[in-house]
Amino acid sequence: NPVVTLHEDRIASLEDLKAATMRCRECPLGEFATQSVNGEGRVHAALMFVGEQPGDQEDLQGHPFVGPAGKLLDRALQALGIPRDAVFVSNAVKHFKFELRGKRRIHKSPTQREAAACLHWLEDEIALVKPKALVALGATAARSLMGQAVPVMSERGKWLTRQDGLKVLVTLHPSALLRMLPEEREQAFEDFVADLRKAKSVL
Ligand code: URA
How high is the ipTM of this complex?
0.93
From the CA of 53, how far away is ligand 1's center (Å)? 5
Question: Helix 112-129 to helix 139-146 angle, to the nearest 10 degrees?
Answer: 70
Q: Would the pTM count as exceeding 0.90?
A: yes
Q: Classify residue 79 as exposed, middle or buried by CB count within 10 Å of its CB (0-12, 13-18, 19+).
A: middle
Q: Reading across the β-sheet that carries 133-137, which strands appear in turn?
A: 40-41, 88-91, 47-51, 133-137, 167-171, 159-161
CB 124 within 8 A of CB 10: yes
2 assigned to some structural domain: no
Q: Is residue 9 part of a domain?
A: no
- Cα→Cα distances 111→31, 53, 108, 176, 192, Å: 16, 11, 9, 18, 25
CA 180 to ligand 1 center in whole angstroms: 17
pLDDT cut 70: percent of the chain above it: 96
Phi, psi of 95 (to 5 degrees): -120, 145
Per the domain annotation, does 7 fall within a domain? no
Residue 10 is predicted with a pLDDT of 77
Q: H or E segment at 120? A: helix 112-129
pLDDT tens figures, 44-85:
999 999 999 999 999 999 999 999 999 999 999 999 999 999
The pLDDT tens digits for 108-137 are: 999 999 999 999 999 999 999 999 999 999
> 59 lies in a domain?
yes
Q: Is residue 144 part of a domain?
A: yes
Number of domains in the chain: 1
Identify the residues whose C-beta falls under 6 Å from ligand 1: 51-55, 58, 64-65, 67, 69-70, 91, 175
The reply to whether 158 falls in a domain is yes
Q: Is residue 89 part of a domain?
A: yes
CATH number of the domain at 53, please.
Answer: 3.40.470.10
Q: Is the torsion defined by CA of 81, 82, 85, 86 positive or negative?
A: positive
148 three-state secondary structure: coil
Residue to probe by mutation, ligand 1, list 58, 60, 90, 178, most atoms within 8 Å of CB: 58
3-state SS, residue 131: coil
- Give residue 44 CA to ligand 1 midpoint distance, Å: 21
Question: By residue range, what is the domain housing residue 140?
Answer: 14-200
Pocket test of ligand 1: the residue of 88, 91, 179 to mutate, having most ligand atoms within 8 Å of its CB, is 91
Domain annotation covers residue 6: no
